[in-house]
Structure 1
């Protein structure tokens, strides 16, 4: 149903009773079945949390066909909705294999090779989104539409990850008006969980895998297209054209 909705750019009103995930494990199984049905590989991962400590962490693999480099042009009509988020991502400098896990947070942090500004396009296959069952959203690749990845800079552990200075605009007009902050606090705390989440399901994180870690700006819904540009101080800016 998810793949058909993507292909036809159609809406789902609800999932049939016998197709509803009963728990997070069901939802994660649907994520991977979706990529398999799309005949797509994993092009990166997203991970996030709603609070700096104590709350649940959730993640999703990203279809390789939905990951782009800065400068891409994407059609607004490709998405049922187009919520825009400015994020920071990390690229790994080594492989993590299922046979070596579980891994410590220190092992994962030591493996970070580079960091990037990213823009995620958030969307849903459900007509009632965001007022949709949380497990349905998790199963739906955690509301993923596309990821635009900025140029790399070497990882710097002294970077201001909790609340960096940032700007997020479309054709020069601001997309947010509050102080940048990640609801998870320091997004690096999510990386160990994500790698272990993946390898526990028999998946390998290859060197160069991009892990994007939640929004600093909330979600913006521009009324029209234009050049979307995100700048986080200390990182090369990331941009794309929403046509």
Structure 2
């Protein structure tokens, strides 16, 4: 559909040029979130030559603090690409982003496929498909002239602020702590700036994973073994400046660090 591709091309151009995205023209702006996800899929095809293959997903708006902050009362998904998944300790140029921020998350890596044909999924079902957890720093980018006025369909179309992630070492599911009790702390330049628990993510991060699996299944799409899913932030987004050193500590899962130069 021409409208869908037109919107995807406009967003892809803004992202490549690191140009803040304005409201899309009326003739191509996605009219609802379903259309936003159609644009997102077209955008993924356009971005892969630059960002590498789609290796997983991020889920936004899974905690009360983030739903209030963004004024969106339900989860939203976006893509995670191969070339913007980093290991803990990485140093990244702040100039690579329009306005970079981070979120403190629990990531999962899947041991098996979650096929659309198996839906509907429950938290218990998807838990069995998890190979390991990672302490995770989602990198987000406020690449908008004014995100508050764009509306959820356009934010969804542009991967809902997603700009990559930093992962700490894997913790196999069979030895991981109960995620409900995992406290995450966000420390910037040695000062704690936010904290939350696994229970803040839709009651349990596995609920977020089940939401994503069902959301994709409704579009006839699968989750695949080896994919990474960022389940949502335990803390409100922390916006950074060049020179900031970020350490996220998640009890029982370890920590993840990055410097934005």
The TM-score range, normalised by the shorter chain, is 0.7 to 0.9
After superposition, give the CA deviation of every residue in 1:138-159 in whole Å (9 maximum; x if it has no partner). Answer: 1110111121111111115973
1:28 pairs with 2:37: yes
Distance in 2 (CA, whole Å) between partners of 1:134 and 1:193 is 17
Please give the residue correspondences for 1:137-176 in structure 2 after superposition, counting only pairs within 5 Å.
137-156=155-174, 159-162=177-180, 164-176=182-194
1:210 pairs with 2:224: no
Shift in Å, 1:13: 1.8
Please give the residue correspondences for 1:44-193 in structure 2 after superposition, counting only pairs within 5 Å.
44-48=56-60, 49-51=62-64, 56-156=74-174, 159-162=177-180, 164-176=182-194, 179-181=195-197, 182-193=200-211
Structure 2: runs of 5+ lacking an equivalent: 1-9, 66-72
Match of 2:7? none
Of 191, 195, 213, the residue aligned with 2:213 is 195
Shift in Å, 1:193: 2.0
Q: Structure 1 length as normaliser, TM-score?
A: 0.88
Q: Relative to 1, partners in 2 of residues 1:23 and 1:163: Cα closer, same or farther, differing over 3 Å?
A: farther
Match of 2:27? 18
Structure 1 window deviating more from structure 2 (28-37 vs 220-229): it is 220-229
Q: Relative to 1, partners in 2 of residues 1:104 and 1:167: Cα closer, same or farther, differing over 3 Å?
A: closer
Shift in Å, 1:104: 4.2
Distance in 2 (CA, whole Å) between partners of 1:123 and 1:198 is 24
Shift in Å, 1:3: 1.1
The alignment yields a C-alpha RMSD, in angstroms, of 2.3
Q: Residues 51 and 185 of structure 1 are in contact (CA less than 8 Å); yes or no, is this contact kept in structure 2?
A: no
After superposition, give the CA deviation of every residue in 1:145-178 in whole Å (9 maximum; x if it has no partner). Answer: 12111111111597343453333223323233xx
Distance in 2 (CA, whole Å) between partners of 1:130 and 1:66 is 25
Distance in 1 (CA, whole Å) between partners of 2:238 and 2:149 is 17
Of 227, 234, 243, the residue aligned with 2:252 is 234
Match of 1:38? 47
Q: Residues 124 and 140 of structure 1 are in contact (CA less than 8 Å); yes or no, is this contact kept in structure 2?
A: no
SS where residue 160 of structure 2 aligns?
coil
Of 207, 211, 222, the residue aligned with 2:240 is 222
Distance in 2 (CA, whole Å) between partners of 1:201 and 1:41 is 20
User: Runs in 1 of length 4+ with deviation above 6 angstroms?
Assistant: none
After superposition, give the CA deviation of every residue in 1:35-73 in whole Å (9 maximum; x if it has no partner). Answer: 101134212111142449xx5332122222222222222
Q: Structure 2 length as normaliser, TM-score?
A: 0.82
